Structure 1
Amino acid sequence: MHKEGKVVPLAAATDRGARTPLPCLPVLLLQVRDKAALQLRQGLQALFDNADDTLFEMADKAADRFDQHLYFEAMRDLRLKRKSIERGFLDIFYDTFARIGQVDPLGFMAANEPSRNKAQMERAASVEGMVARVLSRDGLALDQLSLRLQTLLECTLAPQHNPLGPAALSGYFLQAGRNLGVGLRVKLILLKLFERYVLRDIDVLYGEANQLLAAAGVLAELPPAPRRRAEDRRNDSRRISATLEPDDIGADSVGQAFFASIQGLLAPARGRIAPRLHAVATAQPIGTADLLRLLSHLQHYVPAAQEEDDFDLGQQLEQLLLRVSVRSGTRRRIATADEDMINLVGLLFDHIHADDNLPHSLRTLIVRLHIPLLKVALLDKGLFSRASHPARRLLNEIGAAAIGWETGSEGLRDSLHLRVERIIQRLLNDFTEDASLFAELLEDFLAFSQDERRRNELLEQRTRDAEEGRVRALQARQQVQQALNQRLRGRVLPQVVVQMLVQSWSQVLLLAWLKQGEGSPAWRNALATMDTLLASILPQRDPQALLQHVPGLLKALREGLASVALDSTATRDFFQQLELLHLRACAGAEGPAEVAEVLVAEDIVLAIAEESACAPLRQPDEHAAQLRAVQRLRIGAWVEVLDDDEPLRCKLVARVDSSDRLVFANRTGLKVREWTAQGLAQALRLGEVRLLDDGLLFERALESVLDGLRQQQVH
């Protein structure tokens, strides 16, 4: 059986979860940990993304103002502490993993067992129920994982000490959220959300961990645990949803109230769809079900994105209604509420079509969803009140993925472009009135975008690491230059010594500063060796003292030059020349004089292996508004560079404060631009760069439409 050596890679030592010296773990175990951490982080993000909607709906349905206030306060507290809970969860996870087999993650719940109050007992019961459900469903896969971990670690691992067990994961979540100022009711809701978004897919985590260990030869003979079907997964999700709120699914009372509140704003636009039919006083409104059938007919004739076809939904509906009127012998029109919805969704897609935060090619694709989204809005007005609505989320996810898209060498055959095109075509072909198709396509797109995001995040992290390394190298170079200039500038010295110090010993100094820092013994010893060398080539009043120091000096020089792999021939030549210099120093004026000397008249500037080939670091600029905008930029914010033939979209991946550098990467995580804060502010003022709004597409469009309607009403 293959066993990994118990060595921790350098990268793991700097992991943000490993803040204190911890026991060494097998590399294979670190791989299991990192893959698990990635899935857990994504599950937590989904939890918090949906917690707001859940608490809002509960506040809306609350029986009294006290309960309503309770849920609203919980929403606010959760928003403020979301990041700290996510970070705390992962820190506890990393720490427990480092002490695998030694820590009981739920030990804090067992403390003071006899004195536990009713709230603690309810919380413990909720956790026990969650754990029992996971074990009944995925217990075999977890048992296999525990056996493999025991074999790898060569020790006994009790079930409650497995850092990937459901009890452990629940414990991390409870500990991370201990400072959350919410009551028991809200904590139980969060636990149910934890079960829905983190524990529901835990079988995937166990399956990948088992597969990784088995592939490395750890109990490879164990038969693989059966995988859950997608249908079972959906049923689990529905069951958890039902325990959270009985009428949560399909409830759109908040959406109904929202739509009713804005119908007054939409009134001025009434009569523009099928105006000839509205002009007839006796025209009878068609039902929503009939309107949906007409829209289902029309969605098959939506032109392709690249076709220049003026497809006007109002005109198309008018023609169909005229046919219906002729066939039935009665003038038919669209009901007022349905017309208001058509106008509202039409305004949303007008905004999306004009939204230059999205690339033009993907904009023209997204607006083809006009009819399917209109049908969803007619069927379920919860589209406007629930951020977790599948159709709304699908639009938002596509918009988020599209913001960084640019036409590359593959053009429109880019994987994202093709995936969005397939999704939209599937909806146009297959969507009638069953909104579950949106949920299915959302799940598919999330899997695609998460895989892509995972790859891109790895590249972005490498870019950040490279930038931090480059900044450290620059700082080290400046320190070494300063040390050399303090000792050499303005002096007449043997050329061979100056060349060795500038070309070779500078590398010894750089290595010592980078590896161990400015205050380290290695750095101080390298400086002391340089000082001793310079003193040893001066005329000596006491040659005997020089002879005592020379052996130690030569040893330190040889070890230092060997550490930077100086060519052996060059090393031999230098020491031969140094011997002559020492003889001259001992002999004074009577020594050999044939030694070339140079005046170090200017500052020494060391060459660096690689300078940035990106945008130049611009001179300071005093435009405060743009500078404030730059200072507010968060990591992940997108900009568009307009000074090239083709606009370039890139996002902020690193802010290096020590050297005032803002580093930007493209959608795939590769570095493409770099500015100082002042330089980027100047580029913004000159119109060479513009900031992109990467907020949620649906919310952005809806807010803009409502603002426009309110302004029209005022005027």
Structure 2
Amino acid sequence: MDVGHDRRHSSASPQGGRIGSTRWPARAQRLLESSYTLCVEGLQEPLRRCLGEFEKQLFALAERAHHSGEQQDCFASRQRVLQGRSAFAQQFMERLGSALNEIDSATTGPATAATDVKPWQSLELVDPGEQEVSMTLEQLGARGEVRHSNVLHELGHRLAVLVGAPPLEGQALPLGPHVLAQTCRAASAELELPLKHQLLLLQHFDQWVIQALAPLYDTINARLQGDGILPQLRSIPVPRHIGKRPRPAASGSEPASESAPATGSTATTQGAGSGTSGSIEVLESLRDLLARQRAGQSGGGQPIGRAASEPELQSALGALQQHLAQVTDQASRELRSAARLREELLAQLNSGKPSDAPRTQLSDEQGDTVELVVRLFEQLGQQLQHGGNASNLLSDLQLPVLRMAVADHGFFEKREHPARRLLDTVTAAANDWLDGSDDESNRPLATKLEQLVNRASQEPPSAGLYTTLLADIEHHLALLTRKAQAAERRHVEAAQGRERLDQARHRASELMAERFMQSPPRGLLRTLLDRAWSDVLALTLLRHGEDSEPFRAQLAITDQLLGRLPVDDRLQLQVEVESGLQQIGMHAEEAVQVAQRLLGAGKPDPGVELPSATDLALRLKQHQRLGKQQSSHEPAASQSPTTAVAPTTATASAPAPAPAAAAVDPRARRIEQHLRELPFGSWFEFIDPGTGQIARRKLAWYSPMSGRCLLVSRRGQRGEEMTLAQLAQEVANGHVCEVPAQAEGLLDRAWRSLTGSLRQPAEPHRSTPPEAARR
């Protein structure tokens, strides 16, 4: 039986050798199979999240691409990932099973082979791309070993005892970070990703898989330990000398305070490791910063009383939540200041006690936790757009998140903590997708966010609850994103089609104008060539190209109609004219009447009188031009080449006069040049001069030739369609402003701002925030 075979996941069976009674004892075989089963179960969700985030990152890169080729590469890689994610997971599990199946050869094969090859006999040219991937794999493995050093030490010794080998480490440990990174690289080969996307996938694998291996390693170690494999083995972690928060006035507190800012900054911007030994005491560092800030303040000491226990504080927070749910909606949707929240908690803690009874107070750690969470929410609120729904949702999440932070200090330690991720996702979704209006398109998402926040407020805080809520909202946002992407692609393709149509009409008008100068037509023929046959030329040019045989045939028909070429068969010419007119949407009967009146080759049916030439000319002028129903610039596009002698007057781009007017302003010209260098996906804010409302629009596409650009909303719906010159003029006038790209999310920026505010010296008014003073 194969080591990698899992009865519940038959598709993940390895392709390595088989384990029989002659190779492994029954106990070793059973434990190896059990370890692989745990890997299959424990790695499925991290792999799914890794590929999901990688796919989102590819779409984001496509939005910010400077060139269409780069954008197409991102879309192509994204499509391969979407189509091959199941095959990738299967290949990953199979190769992981093979590595585990060959656990004994990992300790002997490389070493023996290395002694047989001399260094000067193995020199070869190395592909730079392969070298970069190899270096990245080494870095991922090294960081993973440092991050999970303790559990890997135990796992390597236990697996070595199981197979009778020296302690396994590095490349020899089949479940170690080195092997997992190489397995990811091998499994992704079938995706055929370009080099930069391969490296991006490895980065996501490090973030979502390798960093999350600690629970899996603990589970495998516990399984082996429970079966009697080195039950007394314990790794010795490096002790950390971070104790109680020192008092600001103590002389010995200065060294700890000096080291706190660096630790806090690193932790808040990069997050803590997933392993226990690798975590950073972020809460203690933030408390040290808070203590240093308070050191310069003058005031009374801490009130005397018994410190509340954690159950008491949780009960007070729960009672406060219930109370807020019963009061008015306006009061429940406020971000509470630290002072106000502390007063409300103390009132709940001492509710029902006699006046002479000892008062229950918040401990130093509890008070600091309350203030840090409040300050985090204040910083997060400053990152939001004004007039949106995000501020209301943020205030509703304040108490649930505070309850979670009090119950689990991992909220401060771990960047990927479910409560932190839910807070970031909900606020970002409300800030980006909702515009504060009661529009029908906003209601489904607004209702979903309200339901999630209400559930977080009503149920006891737990990591499982926030994980469930996070998965729910991420699924909903994924559906919205896919719909927005599809709608945006449709509008971009339509804009590109209109651009190609305008170019084709412009070229057809130029060719027609050249012929009109040499052989000017009159009457019905002039109207036909002006209003209909130029569209036939444009459509043929758009479909087949200028050098194609069909387009040369249509030009020959034009020359025959103008008398520039002899007509051998008038009946055949009439049939071709009828066919061309029907291609641009003219009714068959009307096309036959125009061709017969113009050429007179066919006899009309008995009793049927053809309309007059004047009547037919009027119908042609009223006929809808090609592409007019899609383009708002038809008046300029429909100009006849006979309106001027120069062919350039037949341009189909209506906004052409606008850039000339805007180019007079040197500042607008500089802005336009800057806009031409922006990548697709750049955001702009349009400010309504009358109401002051702000609407965000994304630059989805622009034409380097005509300068026409397409701006869409977050949901992919077409907004303003203008030229880059017009957009530059709006920016110069102050009606539009560019939104700079943010490398960090809302919560990351809030953490950074919180750390920066804690490093600032204390001010007298900081003890009473302005928001609290207003209330």
Same fold (TM > 0.5): yes
Contact 1:255 1:383 in 2 (8 A): no
User: Paired residue for 1:418?
Assistant: 447
Deviation at 1:506, TM superposition (A): 1.1
- Unaligned 5+ residue runs, structure 2? 1-46, 59-69, 96-104, 111-133, 135-182, 224-234, 236-271, 602-616, 618-639, 765-775
| Counterparts of 1:413 and 1:422, CA distance in 2 | 14
- The CA deviation string for residues 154-204 of structure 1, in whole angstroms up to 9 with x for no partner, is xxxxxxxxxxxxx99984556546847999xx979949968999xxxxxxx
Amino acid in structure 2 at the alignment position of 1:477: R
- Unaligned 5+ residue runs, structure 1? 1-39, 52-80, 110-116, 124-166, 198-235, 538-545, 581-595
SS of 2:470's partner is helix
User: Paired residue for 1:151?
Assistant: none
The two structures, once aligned, show a CA RMSD in angstroms of 5.4
Does 1:44 find its partner at 2:67? no
Q: 2:719 aligns with which of 672, 697, 712?
A: 672
SS of 1:684's partner is helix
User: Paired residue for 2:644?
Assistant: 602
Deviation at 1:293, TM superposition (A): 3.4
Deviation at 1:509, TM superposition (A): 0.8
Amino acid in structure 2 at the alignment position of 1:641: F
User: Paired residue for 2:315?
Assistant: 293
Deviation at 1:480, TM superposition (A): 1.5
Contact 1:254 1:385 in 2 (8 A): no
Does 1:279 find its partner at 2:279? no
User: Paired residue for 2:330?
Assistant: 307
| Counterparts of 1:428 and 1:95, CA distance in 2 | 40
Deviation at 1:442, TM superposition (A): 0.9
| Counterparts of 1:471 and 1:241, CA distance in 2 | 59
**Please, what TM-score do these two structures have when normalized by structure 1?**
0.59
Question: Which structure exhibits the higher relative contact order, with contacts defined as CA atoms closer than 8 Å and separated by 6 or more residues?
Answer: 2
Q: 2:374 aligns with which of 346, 353, 361?
A: 346
Q: 1:457 aligns with which of 461, 485, 505?
A: 485
Q: 2:79 aligns with which of 90, 104, 110?
A: 90
- The CA deviation string for residues 497-517 of structure 1, in whole angstroms up to 9 with x for no partner, is 221111221121121122122
Does 1:619 find its partner at 2:662? yes
SS of 1:508's partner is helix
User: Paired residue for 2:389?
Assistant: 361
Contact 1:509 1:523 in 2 (8 A): yes
Pair 1:289–1:194, CA change in 2 (3 A): closer
5 Å matches for 1:382-461? 382-384=410-412, 386-402=414-430, 403-408=432-437, 410=439, 414-432=443-461, 434-461=462-489
Contact 1:299 1:371 in 2 (8 A): yes
Pair 1:414–1:258, CA change in 2 (3 A): same
| Counterparts of 1:600 and 1:48, CA distance in 2 | 53
SS of 2:330's partner is coil
| Counterparts of 1:707 and 1:281, CA distance in 2 | 29
Deviation at 1:313, TM superposition (A): 1.1
User: Paired residue for 1:138?
Assistant: none
User: Paired residue for 1:513?
Assistant: 541
| Counterparts of 1:468 and 1:655, CA distance in 2 | 9
Pair 1:325–1:173, CA change in 2 (3 A): farther
User: Paired residue for 1:540?
Assistant: none
Which stretch shifts more, 527-536 or 559-568?
559-568
Pair 1:449–1:241, CA change in 2 (3 A): farther
SS of 1:414's partner is helix
User: Paired residue for 1:65?
Assistant: none
Amino acid in structure 1 at the alignment position of 2:662: Q
* Identity among equivalent pairs (%): 21
SS of 1:493's partner is coil
**Alignment coverage as a number of residue pairs:** 520
Pair 1:421–1:576, CA change in 2 (3 A): closer
- The CA deviation string for residues 198-256 of structure 1, in whole angstroms up to 9 with x for no partner, is xxxxxxxxxxxxxxxxxxxxxxxxxxxxxxxxxxxxxx997699679999997566664
User: Paired residue for 1:641?
Assistant: 686
5 Å matches for 1:86-125? 87-88=76-77, 90-91=79-80
SS of 2:405's partner is helix
| Counterparts of 1:95 and 1:453, CA distance in 2 | 20
Deviation at 1:564, TM superposition (A): 3.2
Pair 1:708–1:535, CA change in 2 (3 A): farther
- The CA deviation string for residues 23-45 of structure 1, in whole angstroms up to 9 with x for no partner, is xxxxxxxxxxxxxxxxx998623
Does 1:498 find its partner at 2:545? no
Deviation at 1:528, TM superposition (A): 3.0
Does 1:259 find its partner at 2:302? no
Deviation at 1:632, TM superposition (A): 6.6
- The CA deviation string for residues 7-27 of structure 1, in whole angstroms up to 9 with x for no partner, is xxxxxxxxxxxxxxxxxxxxx
Pair 1:440–1:573, CA change in 2 (3 A): closer
Amino acid in structure 1 at the alignment position of 2:291: A
User: Paired residue for 1:707?
Assistant: 756
Deviation at 1:369, TM superposition (A): 0.8
**Please, what TM-score do these two structures have when normalized by structure 2?**
0.55
Contact 2:434 2:442 in 1 (8 A): no
Pair 1:507–1:240, CA change in 2 (3 A): farther
Does 1:698 find its partner at 2:732? no
User: Paired residue for 1:214?
Assistant: none
Contact 2:380 2:750 in 1 (8 A): yes
SS of 2:494's partner is helix
5 Å matches for 1:58-77? none
Pair 1:381–1:451, CA change in 2 (3 A): same
Say which one has the larger Rg: 2
Does 1:650 find its partner at 2:657? no
Amino acid in structure 1 at the alignment position of 2:287: Q
Does 1:686 find its partner at 2:693? no
SS of 2:701's partner is strand
| Counterparts of 2:321 and 2:564, CA distance in 1 | 89
